Structure formats: structure tokens, C-alpha cells
């Protein structure tokens, strides 16, 4: 069949009127877009509720957070910004509204100014001015983050990369793309696919998210199983540091073993260490044949066995393995009007293959479907016969987030867990919350277990598993645990946190598999990282951003660490005083011991030394 990687769910395939998710995408040509992008969720509330979207509570009013002692933007600052980016300084409150609210409409800042640079030099001059004036800066790409990392908390200066959207170069043999950070992922996908390559990541928000934001959050996505994380596919970065220094690590070399790999510091740093302005990324060749199957499974144990069988029978052509529970299917049907192509089941699985031979791949997938249906692992299934149906099948998975946002206030958790415990937490949370929650759903990506020395999957049969466990105790996966309620509830939140994080830590999992920490999860880093690692992160932050002005209140719990000359001298004096006190204590103890010894050695009636 024809490859279906470019656009999996255009509106014309799903319903006559554009869905709320797609209607929110930024319109315009790839090089010039509206200065006020509306988030998918912002529009989503409008189409899911007749009364429209309610105003989002200011972040400081909902969360316990205090403003750090940064300067406020003055008229002189605005004049300086106008000289740096003439005509691209936004101060209109109506225009700023969308940039102050996050994609999920859960946090809202109160920034008074948005800057729209086009070049690295302009970013450098902006940061240099903000560093000198002690103005906090909030770097922002497509504003599609899930953890409140892309919007201000208070009145930070918003630095938007939306106009930094130029493709600099593309090598038609190596597949290496060099582009500015503000390029939209979907537009990059269309560009490289026209040249027989694909982007190594694919996200549901690809129509709005920027490649710079993807790198800054180390976004995972739907192609992780096949192509790995951005840490492996990003070859080089150009980054502007907090004082305006331009760090040029924009290599296009796949092998460079000279010194520290500095770009890795900024991948996943969420804009807290520097502003990414240019990216070089390795794009894999476009598959000649893509097939998609959608399956129903009677239980999560069967989902895992299907994964094991899938890897064993499909091997090198397996490109995606996604699962969702029955509640997810119910919500996409209820809110978006999408229908399941298979009989109702407790769980559903989407399998995608990508290879070079259409006939060969289709034959392998057909044999796989026959096997899982015959063995009872799958109760029903369908295989896409054309691009239209493949896009429709992918819509069932990709639009779950949209359906959840239409269901009410969403508590989102992005967890990485061993696959044998992956769905247990969904069951536990349902029992824990009971009727207090509207819906508790689980969906995500599964990674297969490793191979053994004989080349077989290490997944023992049911009777060989310890304590009668019904899951394959190998491999890992990414679970999106979502809880919906009619409105935000502090009591419901207290039932979820820290319970979910502690549960994850007990399984040696991660509290953030791919969304990052941002503002909402900065306090839970300790559930996944040891104190020594957290302390080293703080030291790196203090070294690269001593005033703490880059995306403050995000990623790390601590505030800015001052390394000014006065603070350094005070710290040195304090440390020296502590050393003096310690030496004095040792000397006193020694003198007392000496006096005691001499008193014992003195003749009776004699007098000891007068100390």
C-alpha cells in the first residue's frame, strides 16, 4: 500500500467540518504565520462546550509559587527591544493572551511583552539585554507542551521562535537536515518526504509544535520504537547562552569523538540552560511500503504477548506498537464521533510496519494476523487497505488527547514503567479514586523485550512466570495515565499526588517518559533521580545561568543560585570562618588532653602547669 506517514488524519477523512484540534493549527504559509497562534486545546474547548472556554486561573493563584526577585519590564526595555527586533515587539493584551496560556489550559502567566526574532543574532542581543537587566525570559516554540514548561509563570519576557522557520540545508544522500528552531514539525516532514526521507519523530501535535521545542523537551512520539530518541538523531545544535554567547555546536558529522558532547546538555533541558536556535538532524529514508493494523485484545496480558509475537514475526519492519484501553475508545467516540473498526474489546493495539518491499511486508503482516487471531491473543482485527483507512486508524490513537480535553479537567501523567506493571497503576488509580473521577484511562507506546542469545524473545510462557504473573516480565513502556474530572479539585489532586509518583518510584520507573518536567512536575524529580544527580543538575544550572533568568520556575525545584562577586566573597568568608572554628575546636581538645595528661604525671602535692 501507499506510505501514509505525511498526514495521518486530515479533517476531510474524518468529518465534513474541521475538528477543533485541526482548526486550532496556525494558518499561513510555512514562512509567514499569524503572530497569534491558538493552541489546539484552546479551540478544543470551544467545540466541546457550547459555553466556550472558561478563563484559566493565573498560575500563582492556583499553585504555591512566589515570584523571584527579577526586574520588571520598563519603557526603556521596550524601546531597547524595538531597536533589536523592530516591528516584532508584541504588547497588545489580546495578542498576548494565547501565548500566556498553556496547550492544556491549566496554567496562565501574565507576560506583558512577546519578542519575535528571526535570527540567532537577534536572540543573542535579546538575551544579552535581559541578562544585564535581570529580566526573566520564557523561550516558547509552538506552545504544545504538556507540563506548563512553555508559558510564563509570572511576567517573564516571552521569546517566540515562530519566525525562525527557515530550512537552511538538506543533503539528499545523507539525509541530514539543518533548519532553524521555529520550523513546524509537520512542514519539515512534508519537505523531507518530498525528497524520499522522513523525520525521525512524529507527534499528534506535529501541525503546531516546533523542532526546537521538540529538541528542548527531548520529545519521544510515535516513531521512538523504530528510530529511537532525539539524543541519537540530533547531530548538532546552535544555542544562545544566557549572556548572549552563541555556542556553535552545529555539526553535521555522525561521528565526532572530540571532548564533551555539549549538545546533550541542551537536549531535554526545556530552555533552562540556553535557547536553541538551529538544529541539524539525521532523517531516515522514507519507507517504500507502510502497513497499519488495528487489533482488539481481551486483556493486557494478551497485549504484551501480542507485542512479543509482533517483534518475533515482524522483526525489522516493525515501526510502531501503540495500545489503548476501552475507556479511550469510548471517549474518542463520544466526543469526536470516531467509531471503532473492530468489535468492542477491553484493549486495542495499533501496529505499523515500514519496509522496502510492499508484497513482502504485507505477507509478513498477514501471517502475523493469522497467528494472533488463531491463538486467541486477538479477538478481532483489521488491516488498512489504502492510505485513507490507515489515516483513520491512526486518528483513533492520535486524537485521544483531544477527546480527553473535551471530557473535562485532565490530570496527566507520563510514566515509564516495566511492561509487566504498566497497566497495574491504571487499575490501582481507578480503585483509589472511585466515583470522584470522571474517567481514568491508560494508553501509550510499548517497547518489546530484549532478545536472548539464541535470537528469541525472552518472554516465558504463563506457567513459567513467577507467582503466576500474567505479564511478560521484560521490556519497558511509556504509559499515558489520564484522569478527567468536571473541574479542578485540590482533594482529587491530593489523592493522585504523590501516590502516582511514589508508585512509579517503587517500580524504578520514571515520572516523565517524554513530556519533561516543566512547571507542573519540577518538584517530583527526586522520585526518578538520586540526590547526587539532582545536585549536579543544580550546579550546571548555576554555572550556565547564574541569575536563573532562563525559563525560571521550571525543571528544577530550586531558585536561582547567585554567583555574584559579593555572594562568592560571603560564601568564602563563611567557609573560612567554619574552618577556623573547626581548627580552634581541635586545638582546644588537644590542649585539654595535654593538660589532663600532665596533671596525672605530676607528683602528689605538686602543681600542674598553668595553662
Q: Is the pLDDT of residue 1 over 90?
A: no
Which range of 38-42, 224-228, 410-414 scores highest in mean pLDDT? It is 410-414
Residue 570: all three cell numbers together: 560571603
Model pLDDT, residue 226 = 84
Rounded alpha-carbon distances, angstroms, from residue 170 to 184, 193, 279 = 16, 12, 12
pLDDT tens by residue, 334-374: 999 999 999 999 999 999 999 888 888 989 999 999 999 99
**What percent of the chain stands above pLDDT 70?**
78
Q: What is the mean pLDDT of residues 572-598?
A: 60
Q: Is residue 14 one of the residues assigned to a domain?
A: no
Whole-angstrom distance, CA of residue 459 vs CA of residue 310: 12
Tell me which of 1 and 250 has the higher pLDDT. 250
DSSP state of 28: B
558 in a domain, yes or no? yes
Position 325 confidence tier, pLDDT thresholds 50, 70, 90:
very high
CB atoms within 10 A of CB 235: 22
Give the mean model confidence (pLDDT) for residues 534-544: 96
Cell of 379: 479477538
| Window from 37-51, 136-150, 420-434 with minimum mean pLDDT | 37-51
Band (26; pLDDT cuts 50, 70, 90) = very low
The helix (run of H) or strand (run of E) holding residue 168 is strand 167-170
When pLDDT is averaged across residues 234-248 and rounded to a whole number, the result is 98
- Give the residue numbers spanning the domain of 378: 289-530
C-alpha cell at 600: 596525672
74-79: long-range contacts at Cβ-Cβ below 8 A with a sequence spacing of 24 or more? 77/113, 77/129, 77/133, 77/135, 78/113
Per-residue pLDDT reduced to its tens digit, 73-89: 999 999 999 999 999 99
Q: What is the pLDDT of residue 581?
A: 64
Residue 3 lies in a domain: no
Distance CA 331, CA 392 (A): 16
Tell me the average pLDDT across 41-67.
66
Residues 521 and 591 in one domain: no
- Can you count the helices (H) and strands (E) in the chain? 22, 16
Q: Are strands 157-160 and 114-115 parallel, antiparallel or unpaired?
A: parallel
Q: Residue 469: its pLDDT value, please?
A: 34
Nearest-CA neighbor of 440 among 416, 412, 477, 421? 412
- Give the separation between CA 447 and CA 479, rounded to whole angstroms: 11
Element (H, E) at 294: strand 289-297
Strands (DSSP E) found in 344-472? 347-355, 380-383, 409-418, 439-446
Q: Which residues are CB-contacts of 311 (< 8 A; sequence separation ≥ 6)?
A: 318, 448, 449, 457
Residue 170 is predicted with a pLDDT of: 98
Angle at 230 between CA 185 and CA 218, to 5 degrees: 80
Residue 55: inside a domain: yes
Q: What is the 3-state secondary structure (H, E, C) of 447-502?
A: CCCCECCCCCECCCCHHHCHHHCCCCCCCEEEEEEEEEECCCCHHHHHHHCCHHHH
Higher pLDDT, 224 or 206: 206
**Do 510 and 364 share a structural domain?**
yes
Burial class (CB in 10 A: 0-12, 13-18, 19+), 473: middle
Residue 7 lies in a domain: no
Q: Are 474 and 582 in the same domain?
A: no
Q: Exposure of 109 by Cβ count < 10 A (0-12 exposed, 13-18 middle, 19+ buried)?
A: buried
H or E element that contains 325: strand 318-325
Taking the C-alpha atoms of residue 442 and residue 524, their distance in angstroms, rounded to an integer, is 21
Are residues 283 and 198 in contact, defined by beta-carbon separation less than 8 angstroms? yes
Phi-psi region of 265 (alpha: psi -120 to 50; beta: other; left: phi over 0): alpha
Q: Are strands 89-90 and 318-325 parallel, antiparallel or unpaired?
A: unpaired
pLDDT of residue 456: 38
What beta strand segments (E) does 53-140 contain?
89-90, 114-115, 137-140
Integer Cα distance of 331 and 413 in angstroms? 18
Residues 6+ apart with CB under 8 A from 505: 511, 527, 528
The set of residues, in sequence order, having a beta carbon less than 8 Å from that of 526 and lying 6+ positions away, is 534
Which of these ranges, 23-37, 126-140, 382-396, has the smallest mean pLDDT?
Answer: 23-37
DSSP letters spanning 247-287? EEE----S---SS--THHHHTTSTTSS-EEEEEEEEPPBPP
In 3D space, the residue among 466, 514, 98, 69 whose CA is nearest the CA of residue 267 turns out to be 514
Are 201 and 316 part of one and the same domain? Answer: no
- Asked if residue 347 belongs to a domain, the reply is yes
* Dihedral sign from CA coordinates of 417, 330, 305, 392: negative
Examine the domain organization and report whether 165 and 97 are in the same domain: yes
Cell of 216: 528542548
The region of weakest confidence among 38-47, 225-234, 400-409 is 38-47
Query: Band of the pLDDT at 599, cuts 50, 70, 90?
Result: low
Q: What pLDDT is recorded for position 576?
A: 56
Assess contact for 503 and 481: CB atoms under 8 A: no
Q: pLDDT band at 471, cuts 50/70/90?
A: very low
314 with 213, same domain?
Answer: no
Ordered strands of the 246-249 beta sheet: 167-170, 176-180, 275-282, 234-240, 246-249
Split at pLDDT 50, 70, 90, the class of 462 is very low
Q: Of 177, 135, 183, 175, nearest to 159 (Cα)?
A: 135
**Quick one: CA torsion of 121, 126, 132, 134, rounded to 10 degrees?**
-150
Q: Are residues 389 and 259 in the same domain?
A: no
Kindly calculate the radius of gyration of the chain based on its CA atoms and give it in whole angstroms.
28
Q: Which one is predicted more confidently, 23 or 300?
A: 300
Kindly state whether residues 371 and 520 are assigned to the same domain. yes
> Is position 24 within any domain?
no
**Given a cut of 90, is residue 533 above it in pLDDT?**
yes
Higher pLDDT, 488 or 574: 488
Q: For residue 203, what pLDDT is reported? A: 86
Both 449 and 313 in one domain: the answer is yes
Q: pLDDT for 540-569, tens place per residue?
A: 999 999 999 999 999 887 544 444 444 544
Residues 295 and 392 in one domain: yes
Cβ-contact 181, 150 below 8 angstroms: no
Give the closest residue to 44 by CA, choosing from 280, 274, 205. Answer: 205
Q: Which percentage of the chain shows pLDDT scores above 90?
A: 66
Give the Å distances, CA to CA, from 369 to 230, 295, 379, 479: 32, 9, 11, 25
CB 201 within 8 A of CB 219: yes
Question: Out of 43-57, 207-221, 524-538, which region has the weakest mean confidence (pLDDT)?
Answer: 43-57
CATH number for the domain harbouring residue 230: 3.30.465.10
The domain total for the chain is 3
Indicate the range of 55-59, 95-99, 411-415, 581-585 predicted with least confidence. 581-585
Banded pLDDT at 105 (limits 50, 70, 90): confident
Looking at per-residue confidence, does 9 or 307 come out higher?
A: 307
> Do the domain assignments include residue 19?
no
- Please tell me the distance from the alpha carbon of residue 300 to that of residue 345, in angstroms, as a whole number: 11
Give the H/E segment covering residue 361. helix 358-375
Please indicate, yes or no, whether residues 522 and 535 belong to a single structural domain of this protein: no
Cell numbers found for residue 483: 484522569
**What confidence category does residue 586 fall into, taking pLDDT thresholds of 50, 70 and 90?**
low
CATH number for the domain harbouring residue 441:
3.30.70.2190
Mean pLDDT of the chain: 83
> Is the same domain home to 79 and 54?
yes
Amino acid at each position: 500500500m501507499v506510505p501514509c506517514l505525511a498526514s495521518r488524519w486530515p479533517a476531510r477523512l474524518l468529518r465534513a467540518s474541521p475538528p477543533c484540534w485541526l482548526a486550532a493549527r496556525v494558518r499561513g504559509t510555512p514562512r509567514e504565520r499569524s503572530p497569534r497562534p491558538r493552541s489546539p486545546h484552546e479551540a478544543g474547548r470551544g467545540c466541546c462546550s457550547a459555553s466556550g472556554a472558561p478563563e484559566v486561573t493565573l498560575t500563582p493563584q492556583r499553585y504555591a509559587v512566589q515570584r523571584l526577585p527579577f526586574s520588571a519590564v520598563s519603557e526603556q526595555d521596550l524601546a531597547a527591544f524595538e531597536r533589536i527586533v523592530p516591528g516584532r515587539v508584541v504588547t497588545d493584551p489580546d495578542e498576548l493572551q494565547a501565548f500566556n496560556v498553556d496547550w492544556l489550559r491549566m496554567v496562565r502567566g501574565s507576560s506583558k511583552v512577546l519578542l519575535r526574532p528571526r535570527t540567532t543574532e537577534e536572540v543573542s542581543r535579546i538575551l544579552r539585554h535581559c541578562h544585564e537587566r535581570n529580566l526573566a525570559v520564557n523561550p516558547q516554540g509552538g506552545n504544545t507542551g504538556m507540563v506548563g514548561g512553555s508559558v510564563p509563570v509570572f511576567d517573564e519576557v516571552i521569546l517566540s521562535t515562530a519566525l525562525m522557520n527557515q530550512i537552511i540545508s538538506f543533503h539528499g544522500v545523507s539525509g541530514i537536515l539543518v533548519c532553524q528552531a521555529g520550523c513546524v514539525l509537520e512542514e519539515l516532514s512534508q519537505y523531507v518526504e518530498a525528497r524520499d526521507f522522513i523525520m525521525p519523530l512524529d507527534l499528534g501535535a506535529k501541525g503546531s509544535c516546533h523542532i526546537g521545542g521538540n529538541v528542548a523537551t527531548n520529545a519521544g512520539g510515535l516513531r521512538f520504537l523504530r528510530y529511537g530518541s532525539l539524543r541519537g538523531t540530533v547531530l548538532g545544535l546552535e544555542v544562545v547562552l544566557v549572556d548572549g554567547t552563541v555556542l556553535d555546536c552545529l555539526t553535521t558529522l555522525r561521528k565526532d569523538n572530540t571532548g564533551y558532547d555539549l549538545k546533550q546538555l541542551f537536549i531535554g533541558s526545556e530552555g533552562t540552560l540556553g535557547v536553541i536556535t538551529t538544529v541539524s538532524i539525521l532523517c531516515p529514508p522514507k519507507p517504500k511500503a507502510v502497513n497499519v493494523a488495528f487489533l482488539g485484545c481481551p486483556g493486557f496480558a494478551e497485549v504484551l504477548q501480542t507485542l512479543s509475537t509482533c517483534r518475533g514475526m515482524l522483526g525489522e519492519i516493525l515501526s510502531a506498537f501503540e495500545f489503548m484501553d476501552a475507556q479511550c475508545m469510548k471517549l474518542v467516540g463520544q466526543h469526536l464521533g470516531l467509531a471503532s473498526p473492530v468489535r468492542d474489546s477491553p484493549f486495542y493495539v495499533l501496529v505499523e510496519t515500514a519496509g522496502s518491499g510492499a508484497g513482502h511486508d504485507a505477507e509478513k503482516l498477514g501471517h502475523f494476523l493469522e497467528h494472533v487471531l488463531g491463538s486467541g491473543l486477538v479477538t478481532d482485527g483489521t488491516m488498512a487497505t489504502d492510505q485513507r483507512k490507515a489515516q483513520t486508524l491512526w486518528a483513533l490513537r492520535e486524537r485521544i488527547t483531544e477527546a480527553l480535553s473535551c471530557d473535562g479537567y485532565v490530570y496527566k501523567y507520563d510514566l515509564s514503567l516495566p511492561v509487566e506493571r504498566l497497566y497495574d497503576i491504571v487499575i490501582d488509580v481507578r480503585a483509589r479514586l472511585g466515583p470522584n473521577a470522571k474517567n481514568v484511562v491508560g494508553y501509550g507506546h510499548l517497547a518489546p523485550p530484549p532478545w536472548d542469545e539464541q535470537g528469541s524473545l525472552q518472554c516465558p510462557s504463563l506457567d513459567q512466570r513467577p507467582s503466576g504473573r500474567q505479564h511478560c516480565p521484560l521490556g519497558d513502556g511509556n504509559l499515558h495515565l489520564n484522569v478527567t474530572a468536571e473541574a479542578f479539585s485540590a482533594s482529587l489532586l491530593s489523592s493522585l499526588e504523590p501516590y502516582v509518583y511514589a508508585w512509579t518510584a517503587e517500580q524504578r520507573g520514571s515520572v516523565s517518559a517524554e513530556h519533561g518536567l516543566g512547571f507542573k512536575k519540577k518538584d517530583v524529580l527526586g522520585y526518578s533521580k538520586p540526590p547526587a544527580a539532582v545536585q549536579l543538575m543544580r550546579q550546571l544550572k548555576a554555572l550556565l545561568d547564574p541569575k536563573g533568568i532562563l525559563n525560571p520556575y521550571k525543571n528544577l525545584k530550586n531558585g536561582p543560585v547567585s554567583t555574584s562577586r559579593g555572594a562568592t566573597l560571603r560564601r568564602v568568608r563563611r567557609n573560612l570562618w567554619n574552618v577556623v572554628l573547626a581548627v580552634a575546636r581541635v586545638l582546644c581538645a588537644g590542649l585539654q588532653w595535654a593538660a589532663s595528661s600532665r596533671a596525672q604525671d605530676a607528683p602528689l602535692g605538686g602543681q600542674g602547669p598553668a595553662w
